[in-house]
Structure 1
Amino acid sequence: MKKIKIGIITISDRASNGVYEDLSGKEIERLMNIWLKSTWEACYRLIPDEQNKLEEILIDLADNESCCLIVTTGGTGPAKRDVTPEATIAVCEKMLPGFGEQMRQISLQYVPTAILSRQTAGIRGNTLIVNLPGKPKSIKECLEAVFPAIPYCIDLIDGPYLEINSAEMKVFRPK
């Protein structure tokens, strides 16, 4: 059986320059370790807010590393350097706007600025790409909201079957 690979990409000028530690990527990995019973491997990248670089990495992780899921953090706001959704849209064949809609709806319960967030998700081949916000607290809130649909989405795009720790996370798969 092929090893399950999950891409984790932190997009941050400051973290990539060593100004501060990447706590966001670590939070994604922590949550995956809690929720997944399947053995999996993280394909981790830390890069500056550069659209071309992000597109190259998304393509590499999807096409060459065969990640079934790529989760990005950062670069989803309205600032000039925030280009994560643009890179995601550029490399995906299908967009799944419901992911971003759900994450914004959840985030609005905590902060009114959630309407400024531009998270999205899409599919490239057999890979689901999900854009999360940059703060660890927001990552947990948003990923908890959309993760119940992720394993079934990966099933539908002929990715590997993700076994879930049902004591920690309830997912939906039709009978």
Structure 2
Amino acid sequence: MSSNLLVNGDFSQGTTGWTLPSACFAIDPSTLAPNGAASLEMSDSAACGNPTPIAVNSLKVSGGEVYTLTGQIKTEDYIGENSGAGAMFFLYDFARSPIFNGTTDWTSVTLQHVPVSAGKTASLRLQTYDPVPTGNSWFANLSLQQEIPPGLQMFLLYPNYRGLMFSDQSQVASLDLTVTPAAGTSLASLQVVI
């Protein structure tokens, strides 16, 4: 896994790296994340002048890669105009967290193996799903990491899964190998010894 690609995903630098309507998003010094980190509060969504207030991280994710998205959400009396309304975070067009409403304590969400199509870009957004005129929600410890494939993957084709070679069968092992060179390394410079 790569390091966190988001710009200020833990809000340790306030709202730096985020584009948001200041009327309904703010750092909340009295509601800290479970690890003591800062949290971003979303409240009074009607004040934003848009039924779905959106905060967008400045990172634009490259396509053709696979990512893991994690974060934490908390809600308090977060009641929307319908039962499906609530707070969520998502990698725009590719994956989203569950929708949180009502009153919930800090909940961690992890979305693994999120592919972003080649030729596309994606942004991380914090927002409501449908209007939520009452209550508050908080976001904390957001992270987006690229899933880096292992350098060597091997699958034993023959002999069978028990590793038994029978005397009347081939005595040659058969393997499926996938080698993924690290950045800056060519496949020709590597050697696999079995």
- Note whether the superposition's TM-score is higher than 0.5: no
Q: Which has the higher helix share?
A: 1
TM, length-normalised to structure 1: 0.28
Structure number with larger C-alpha Rg? 2
